[in-house]
Structure 1
Amino acid sequence: MTDFLHPQLDDAELGRISALGLAHIGDGVYEIMTRSYLVCQGMQTARGLHAKTVALVRASSQFRAAQLILPLLSEAEADVFRHGRNAKPKTIPKAASHSEYAYATALETLFGWLYLRREYDRLNQLYTVISQDFPEILAKK
Structure 2
Amino acid sequence: MDYLHPKLDDAAIARMSSLALAHVGDAVYEVMVRTWLACGGMQTARNLHRHTVALVRASAQAEAAQRILPLLDGEEQDVYRHGRNAKPKSVPRSSSVAEYAQATALEALFGWLYLKQRYGRINELFGVIAEGFQ
* TM-score normalised by length of structure 2: 0.99
3-state DSSP class of the match of 1:22?
helix
2:26 is equivalent to residue 27 of structure 1: yes
In 1, the alpha carbon distance for the partners of 2:126 and 2:6 equals 21
Runs of 4+ in 1 over 2 A off after TM superposition: none
Taking only the aligned residue pairs, the percentage that are identical comes to: 63
Could you tell me how far apart the structure 1 residues matched to 2:72 and 2:9 are? 22
| Rounded Cα–Cα distance in structure 2 between residues aligned with 1:15 and 1:129 | 26
**Alignment partner of 1:37: what SS?**
helix
Check if 1:82 corresponds to 2:81: yes
Structure 1 gaps, min length 5: 136-141
Unmatched segments (≥5 aa) in structure 2 = none
| Distance (whole Å) between structure 1 residues aligned to residue 10 and residue 107 of structure 2 | 19
After superposition, the CA RMSD in angstroms is 0.4
Helix, strand or coil at the partner of 1:61 = helix
Residue-by-residue CA offset, 1:35-74 (whole Å, 9 max, x unaligned): 0000000111000000000000000000000000000000
What TM-score, normalized by structure 1, do the two folds share?
Answer: 0.94
Matched residue count: 134
**Corresponding residue of 1:91:** 90
- Matched with 2:123 is 124
Could you say which residue in structure 1 is the equivalent of 2:56? 57
